[in-house]
Amino acid sequence: MASIGYGAMYPKTLYANVIVTIESFLGLMGLAVGTGLIFARFSLLRARVIFSRVAVITPHNGVPTFMFRVANERQNWILEAQVRVTLVRNEITAEGYMMRRFYDMCLLRSQTPLFALTWTVMHPIDEKSPLYRMTPEQMYEDDIEILVTLTGLDETVSQTIHARHSFVTEEILWNMRFVDILSKTRDGKRSVDYSRFHEVITLSGN
């Protein structure tokens, strides 16, 4: 494709030599493009970030708080990880048109310098929250969806990684809390029980 070995066959006319030259250049270009595409495909870093299947609304320091879990399944760290949470709901304008509106949800902590194990993302439902005074019935009526995006820098390959998730109304549980999954090994290191990562219990179970 990119090399020329005539052997006993070789072009005799100017036209044949031009065709062979063009074929050679096209072969070199095709090889370079193909190599680049294959390398880009297999070198693409995939984030192994998992999100809890459900989110909960539970009191935290006396304030109703929307919470969900995030975990890093890789053994390496994610540097400068940032989480952004957005609420989407249906609204009727003054003219009577229905629109999907987006509202940013402020977090108690939206970024962390090192993300290694788990992270419980929390949004306090106060007067500034788009969830303030909202009931489960209202959430169903407004067709609530909460979008989550996470970005960070993989420390091994120094590439930016992205992960996304969303919670619909049916996946938001009220008056529940997540099961504790952090523990310490005998040598003092922290470990995560991923088998219970998605589990929740009622507040009465405390």
Question: What confidence score (pLDDT) does residue 204 get?
Answer: 67
Give me the residue label for tokens 């090889």. 31
Q: What span, in angstroms and rounded, lies between the C-alpha atoms of 120 and 115?
A: 11
In this prediction, residue 45 has a pLDDT band, given cuts at 50, 70 and 90, of low
Question: What confidence score (pLDDT) does residue 176 get?
Answer: 93
Q: Are 71 and 62 in contact (CB under 8 A)?
A: no
- For the chain, give the number of residues: 206
- The pTM is what? 0.74
Q: Are 73 and 89 in contact (CB under 8 A)?
A: no
Percentage with pLDDT > 70 across the chain: 89
Percentage with pLDDT > 90 across the chain: 50
Q: Domain map of the chain by residue range?
A: 1-44, 49-205
Q: Provide mean pLDDT across the span 27-46.
A: 74
DSSP secondary structure string for all residues of the chain: ------TT----SHHHHHHHHHHHHHHHHHHHHHHHHHHHHHTPPPP-EEE-S-EEEEEETTEEEEEEEEEE-SSS-EEEEEEEEEEEEEEE-TTS-EEEEEEE---S--EEEEE-SEEEEEEE-STTSTTTT--HHHHHHTT-EEEEEEEEEETTT--EEEEEEEEEGGGEEESEEEPP-EEE-TTS-EEE-GGGTT-EEEGGG-
pLDDT at 5 over 80: no
Question: What confidence score (pLDDT) does residue 77 get?
Answer: 85
Q: What span, in angstroms and rounded, lies between the C-alpha atoms of 173 and 54?
A: 7
pLDDT at 43 over 60: no
The CATH number, out of the four listed (3.30.2400.10, 2.60.40.1400, 3.40.50.1220, 3.90.190.20), of the domain defined by the range 49-205? 2.60.40.1400
Q: Single out the residue of 160, 172, 182 nearest to residue 52, CA to CA.
A: 172
More confident of the two residues 159 and 200:
200
Q: Provide mean pLDDT across the span 102-122.
A: 92
Q: Provide mean pLDDT across the span 174-201.
A: 87
Question: What confidence score (pLDDT) does residue 46 get?
Answer: 64
Question: What confidence score (pLDDT) does residue 42 get?
Answer: 59
The tens digit of pLDDT for each residue in 55-108 reads 999 999 999 999 999 998 877 888 999 999 999 999 888 888 889 999 999 999
Residue 4 one-letter amino acid = I
Question: What confidence score (pLDDT) does residue 206 get?
Answer: 47
Q: What span, in angstroms and rounded, lies between the C-alpha atoms of 191 and 181?
A: 8
Contacts of 20 (CB under 8 A, 6+ apart): 4, 11
Q: Are 202 and 84 in contact (CB under 8 A)?
A: no
In this prediction, residue 44 has a pLDDT band, given cuts at 50, 70 and 90, of low
pLDDT at 130 over 90: yes
More confident of the two residues 44 and 10:
10
